[in-house]
Amino acid sequence: MKYKYIGGVILFIVVLLGIEYYKFRKRIYSIETIKLENIISSLRTGDIIFYRYDNWKQNKFITCFIMNTCQTFLSTIYTHCSIVIRINDIPFLYTAHHKPEYDYITKTYKSGSMLIDSKKYLMAYQGHVVLYKIKKRLRIGNKLKGKIIDYIHINKSKQFEDSISKNLNTIFKITEYEITDKIMCCQIVGDILKLLKLFPKFFHTSIINLSDIITIADMSKKYKTPVIIKNLYFMTD
């Protein structure tokens, strides 16, 4: 009898994966594709970049199985995000991640909060990359620049947050505010968007998730229609 229940659970998970895969393919096929090389130099402060890691490409079946099920539950086709910040006219990506990268603030290879080389990271990334580009260049004075740099330095030592309780809270908004010594990529993007006045002031970024950022970017009149800048499933060459 118990084997029937196991079979039912497996069937349920397979159906979830099928739904998730359908949503992913439908969304990806509906987005215009632009060559990555043609876009990197034009990245502006405030541009948002979403990622979906290609676990199938890396032959990590179990990882892909778990990630796809989780993403179905989270109702988003992306797995990661970052925001562009231009410093001395160089476009950097600001984010938080569990994988160590060279951080241009601490001048070390580290995980957690990081300011990384946009070209190097995007060219090496194994997966799908979607860009939400600002329509008009933002006017960023010295005061705002100072606030952004201060925020980066204040959070430079924070580690990547990836707990089950944290992820559940971002979905169900169980608590309205959390203060921890860790940080998620969504919170970083949300905080910078608030500083740039591109994000609602009342929203608590400590409980924000990818779906929240996608919804706001889709609804905002300040962002262009998203474009794919890297896609491993089908090339445009």
Q: Is residue 236 part of a domain?
A: no
pLDDT level of residue 12 (50, 70, 90 thresholds): confident
Assign residue 46 a region: left if phi > 0, alpha if psi is -120 to 50, beta otherwise? left
Q: Is residue 134 part of a domain?
A: yes
Over residues 60-71, the pLDDT tens digits come to 555 665 665 565
Residue type, 11: L
Q: Is residue 60 part of a domain?
A: yes
Here the CATH number for the domain that contains residue 135 is 3.90.1720.10
The pTM of the full predicted model, rounded to 2 decimals, is 0.83
Residue 237 predicted with pLDDT over 60:
no
Per the structure, the count of domains in the chain is: 1
Q: Which two tokens stand for residue 131?
A: 């860009």
Q: Write down the pLDDT at residue 202.
A: 77
Q: Is residue 78 part of a domain?
A: yes
Q: Which residues contact 8 (CB under 8 A, 6 or more apart)?
A: none
**CA distances, 179 to each of 158, 163, 187 (Å):** 12, 14, 11
Q: Is residue 55 part of a domain?
A: yes
Nearest one of 172, 170, 152 to 162, comparing CA atoms? 170
Q: Write down the pLDDT at residue 78.
A: 82
Q: Is residue 235 part of a domain?
A: no
Residue type, 38: N
Mean pLDDT of 35-44: 91
Over residues 174-210, the pLDDT tens digits come to 666 666 788 999 999 999 999 999 988 777 888 888 8
Q: Is residue 209 part of a domain?
A: yes
Q: Which two tokens stand for residue 147?
A: 């606030």
Mean pLDDT of 29-44: 88
Q: Write down the pLDDT at residue 168.
A: 62
- C-alpha 177: how far from chain center: 21
Domain that holds residue 222: 2-230
Q: Is residue 237 part of a domain?
A: no
